[in-house]
């Protein structure tokens, strides 16, 4: 119960920012920064460095390749300390360069294999009548019971028209980004259509983003509703505290 | 802004209280049906890799899905290995795993285990293709993997029947998609907050996913499917437990409607006032 | 090899290994792959700790010099010290550490995000005016999607929900594919610049 009360106190202290910027909010923010840093640092030490490197190193050379690999890793990472010695500072860039190169290589390979090839392939496949279209037609007819001439036509052509729309949208979108100022009327028209597609995409993204943020708000409300008595007590304590504290400039935006 | 925030919170609370009425049953999207089929198709002898990569703020949207995944897998006799690409994900995974094992009377180390936080993001996904001992030597609680029977049965995590990823951003779904899909994961099922839903829709449309559950609406639909699936009603408590999770998500959907209406009406009022000022 | 060249060559070698690794994959179970993966993990872990130390040093300076905000800086340091000490002593599954996560970190993180998120959405939608056809299309799409994803019954649900679903499944997929293809090309371009030694921002050198 103490834990729940503390959680609610902290929640209301943060939400007090809605009224105005205040010392209680800033204190709570500082506590969060400290706890978050402590959490991440503790995990890096206890879950990453100790089991992955210290344990293996402590197991000794008898473990063979594992020990040698671990030692090499520690030596490379230790090069970062070279930055403290000016003549050797250039060595300190080696681990950073390795990390940047590795992550860039991994990202590029991942993007090509999991994004570029499948997405371009799926867009091109939009022009072909595939089994999945037949499946979509079946699902459409099932959901449109009772079937009539109109639903039959809609379900027969609807999925294929959608695929064509996607293909046209992808091409137009790429034209929009590459040729933002079209040289001729045709290209400008395609680019304009691409602009609409991008706007609709951004609209969908904004709508979904709003829903995600509503969920966070709903979550806080649900927490308050779990123990309404404690929530009211916490609210009362926070309000009293705010009244007692001096108001600091600047005011809330 | 302050009045809007107060009204929004009040609307969410009121909708939560009023939500004892069942929400209208929305049409269930095919990606959700596919996700449910993928999980319900698990059998004894399978194991599933569950990556819990969301933060505490996303708990309202994604925790019911994680609980359902754990429940469904354990009800079907499959074993579960959880891990996370972020520290808070590891803490949440441990909490849900212990709760699910207590509810389903499972044993930690035999039916499920939590490998905890694996640093490296995309690099961690690569490690799923390597022998398990190279990925981690201890679990989240610090137990040696060699002492856990489940760890002895698993050669490498890429042998999992399914990778299920519950993610709210970075690190998360994209790391698993880019490094794992088509290479280490036999099947990849993603559950995300509404934030990532639109982007991941393109990956579902290209056939790269075994299912996609994006946002509270899809999680609610998934919960309804699970609650009404007789294959999952293995004992008297399981049906009511699944229905309880479905009810929890229905409260969400009513609260969503209340907030959407607040925003749309607020936007309308602001535009009208702006036009009035302009005319004057 | 010059002092400037060594890090660049290291970056090139690392980038080449990880780019070719999925294609070649001979090091799947070998210690070369373990070494390469562990190296990246270790560097990220150490860099994270260095960054945390930097933040703490800045807060420490505020306390020592009694600058503005030194009381809050003290709170940061105390909260860090407690959490770190408990985390390292007990481990992530320890009772006190779990308590701190459940009753301090989680509610704070959720509440801060709720505050920020609400302000973002409120500002974005208040400031947006339908000044052109395209902006009007954006606002209309966002509104339809929001209404379509919430529970609606009767005629309203029958009209809005299919439109919202169509917007998500068709034009959104087209637009997202454009953005994803663009991002993929950008990633390949960055890799190429790295491999050719043109990209040097990570070394702190300005581009010529």
Closest chain C C-alpha to B169 CA, distance in angstroms: 13
Among candidates B143, B147, B137, B139, which has minimal Cα distance to B80? B139
Query: Strand, coil or helix: what is B53?
Result: strand
Coil, strand or helix at B116: strand
Only one residue has tokens 């639909």, namely B221
Neighbours of B231 (CB within 10 A): 11
DSSP reduced 3-state for B52? strand
Nearest by Cα to A237 from A28, A38, A21, A31? A28
Contact status of C127 with chain B (Cβ, < 8 Å): no
Give me the residue from C93, C118, C177 closest to B8, CB to CB.
C118
3-state SS class at C27: coil
* Cα–Cα dist A249/A247, whole Å: 7
Nearest CA in chain A to B84: A47
Distance between CA atoms of A20 and A242, rounded to whole angstroms?
Answer: 10
ipTM of the prediction greater than 0.85, yes or no: yes
Ordered mean pLDDT values, 10 residues apiece, chain B (280 residues)? 63 56 61 92 92 94 93 93 96 96 92 96 92 91 94 94 93 93 91 92 92 91 86 65 67 71 72 69
The chain C residue lying nearest B119, using CA atoms, is C41
Name chain B contacts of A115, Cβ cutoff 8 Å. 178
Least trusted range by pLDDT, from A229-243, B112-126, C142-156, C172-186 = C142-156
What are the helix (H) ranges across B144-234?
149-153, 173-180, 197-205, 215-227
In this predicted model, what pLDDT tens digit does every residue of A175-228 receive, in sequence order?
998 876 656 888 888 988 999 999 999 999 988 988 888 888 888 888 888 888
In this complex, do A47 and B87 lie within 8 Å of one another by their Cβ atoms? Answer: yes
Residues of chain A with Cβ-Cβ distance to C176 below 8 Å are: 201
Read off the pTM.
0.89
Structure tokens at A7: 């959680």
CA–CA distances in Å: residue A45 to residues A34, A136, C25, C98: 16, 51, 31, 17
Of A96, A104, A210, the CB nearest to C15: A104
A15 close to C (CB below 8 A): yes
The predicted pLDDT at position A90 comes to: 83
Q: How many CB atoms lie within 10 A of CB B107?
A: 10
What is the pLDDT of chain C when averaged over all its residues?
Answer: 86
Confidence of residue C208 (pLDDT cuts 50, 70, 90): very low
Give the pLDDT score at B99: 93
- Is B252 in contact with B62 (CB distance < 8 Å)? no
Q: How many of the other CB atoms lie within 10 Å of CB of C40?
A: 26
Q: Report pLDDT for B108.
A: 96
Q: Helix B236-279 to helix B59-75 angle, to the nearest 10 degrees?
A: 160
Around C28, how many Cα atoms within 13 Å sit in the side-chain half-sphere? 12
Q: Is the dihedral of CA C167, C168, C169, C174 positive or negative?
A: positive
pLDDT at A44: 96
| C46-71 residue pLDDT tens | 999 999 999 999 999 999 999 889 99
What values do phi and psi take at B52, rounded to 5?
A: -100, 100
pLDDT score, position B139: 94
Residue A156: CB partners within 8 Å, gap ≥ 6?
A137
Q: Which residues of B touch A119 (CB under 8 A)?
A: 202, 206
pLDDT at A97: 92
Residue C153 has pLDDT above 60, yes or no: no
Burial class (CB in 10 A: 0-12, 13-18, 19+), C127: exposed
Q: Give A-chain residues touching C68 at CB under 8 angstroms.
A: none
> Which residues in chain A come in under a pLDDT of 50?
252-253
Ramachandran region of residue C151, left (φ > 0), alpha (ψ -120 to 50) or beta?
beta
Report which of B135, B105, B107, B109 is spatially closest to residue B123, judged by C-alpha positions: B135
Order of strands, sheet of B188-192, starting from the edge strand that comes earlier in the sequence: B112-117, B79-84, B47-53, B162-167, B188-192, B211-214
Rounded Cα distance, B5 and A252, in Å: 14
8 Å CB contact of A112 and C92: no
* C194 touching A (Cβ < 8 Å): yes
pLDDT (0 to 100) of residue A89 = 83
pLDDT at C152: 61
pLDDT at B120: 92
State the nearest Cα–Cα gap between B104 and chain A, in angstroms: 24
Nearest-Cα distance to chain C for B51, in Å, is 17
Give the Cα separation of C44 and B224 in Å (integer). Answer: 41
Kindly report the number of other CB atoms within 10 A of residue A114's CB atom.
25
- CB-nearest to B267 from C33, C37, C125 is C125
């Amino acid at each position: 119960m103490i834990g729940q009360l503390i959680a609610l106190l902290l929640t209301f202290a943060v939400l007090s920012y809605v009224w105005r910027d205040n010392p209680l909010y800033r204190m709570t923010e500082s506590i969060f920064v400290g706890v978050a840093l402590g959490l991440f640092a503790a995990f890096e030490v206890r879950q990453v460095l100790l089991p992955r490197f210290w344990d293996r190193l402590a197991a000794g050379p008898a473990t063979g390749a594992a020990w040698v690999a671990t030692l090499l890793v520690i030596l490379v990472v230790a090069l970062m300390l070279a930055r403290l010695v000016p003549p050797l500072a250039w060595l300190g860039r080696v681990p950073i360069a390795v990390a940047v190169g590795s992550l860039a290589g991994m990202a590029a390979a991942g993007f090509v294999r999991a994004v570029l090839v499948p997405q371009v392939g799926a867009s091109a496949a939009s022009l072909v009548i595939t089994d999945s279209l037949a499946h979509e037609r079946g699902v459409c007819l099932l959901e449109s019971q009772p079937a009539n001439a109109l639903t039959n036509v809609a379900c027969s052509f609807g999925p294929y028209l959608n695929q064509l729309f996607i293909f046209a949208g992808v091409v137009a979108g790429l034209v929009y980004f590459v040729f933002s100022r079209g040289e001729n009327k045709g290209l400008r028209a395609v680019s304009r259509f691409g602009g609409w597609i991008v706007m609709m995409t951004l609209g969908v993204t904004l709508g979904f983003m709003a829903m995600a943020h509503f969920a966070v708000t709903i979550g806080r409300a649900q927490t308050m509703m779990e123990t309404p008595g404690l929530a009211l007590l916490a609210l009362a304590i926070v309000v009293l505290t705010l009244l007692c504290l001096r108001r600091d400039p600047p005011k809330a935006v | 802004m302050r009045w809007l925030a107060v009204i929004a919170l009040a609307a969410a609370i009121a909708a939560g209280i009023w939500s004892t009425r069942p929400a209208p049953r929305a049409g269930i999207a095919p990606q959700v049906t596919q996700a449910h089929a993928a999980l319900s198709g698990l059998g004894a002898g399978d194991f599933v890799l569950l990556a819990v990569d969301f933060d505490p703020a996303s708990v309202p949207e994604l925790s019911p899905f994680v609980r359902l995944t754990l429940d469904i897998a354990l009800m079907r006799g499959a074993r579960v290995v959880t891990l996370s690409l972020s520290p808070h994900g590891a803490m949440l995974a441990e909490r849900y795993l212990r709760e699910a094992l207590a509810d389903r009377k499972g044993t930690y180390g035999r039916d499920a285990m939590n490998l905890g936080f694996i640093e490296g993001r995309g690099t961690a996904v690569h490690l799923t293709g390597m022998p398990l001992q190279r990925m981690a030597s201890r679990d989240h609680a610090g137990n040696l993997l060699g002492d856990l029977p489940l760890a002895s049965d698993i050669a490498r995590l890429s042998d999992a029947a399914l990778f299920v990823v519950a993610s709210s951003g970075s690190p998360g779904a994209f790391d698993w998609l880019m490094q794992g899909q088509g290479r280490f994961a036999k099947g990849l099922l993603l559950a995300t907050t509404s934030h990532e839903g639109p982007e991941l829709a393109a990956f579902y449309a290209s056939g790269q996913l075994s299912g996609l559950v994006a946002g509270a609406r899809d999680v609610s639909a998934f919960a309804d499917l699970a609650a009404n699936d007789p294959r999952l009603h293995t004992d008297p408590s399981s049906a009511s437990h699944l229905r309880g999770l479905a009810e929890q998500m229905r409260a969400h959907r009513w609260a969503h409607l209340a907030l959407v209406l607040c925003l749309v009406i607020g936007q309308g009022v602001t535009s009208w006032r702006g036009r009035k000022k302009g005319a004057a | 090899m010059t002092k400037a060249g060594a890090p660049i060559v290291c970056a090139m070698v690392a980038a080449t290994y990880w780019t070719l690794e999925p294609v070649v994959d001979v090091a799947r179970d070998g210690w070369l792959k373990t070494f390469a993966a562990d190296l990246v993990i270790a560097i990220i872990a150490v860099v994270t700790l260095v960054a945390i130390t930097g933040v703490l040093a800045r807060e420490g300076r505020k306390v020592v010099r009694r600058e503005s905000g030194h009381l809050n800086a003290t709170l940061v340091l105390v909260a860090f010290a407690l959490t770190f000490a408990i985390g390292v002593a007990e481990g992530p599954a320890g009772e006190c550490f779990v308590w701190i996560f459940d009753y301090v970190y989680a509610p704070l993180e959720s509440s801060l995000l709720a505050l920020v998120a609400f302000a973002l959405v409120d500002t974005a939608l208040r400031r947006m005016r339908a000044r052109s056809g395209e902006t009007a299309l954006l606002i209309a799409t966002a509104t339809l999607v929001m209404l379509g994803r919430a529970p609606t019954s009767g005629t309203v649900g029958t009209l809005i929900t299919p439109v919202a679903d169509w917007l998500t499944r068709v034009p959104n997929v087209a637009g997202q594919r454009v953005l994803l293809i663009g991002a993929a090309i950008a990633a390949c371009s960055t890799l190429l610049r790295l491999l050719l030694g043109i990209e040097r921002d990570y070394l702190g050198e300005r581009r010529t």
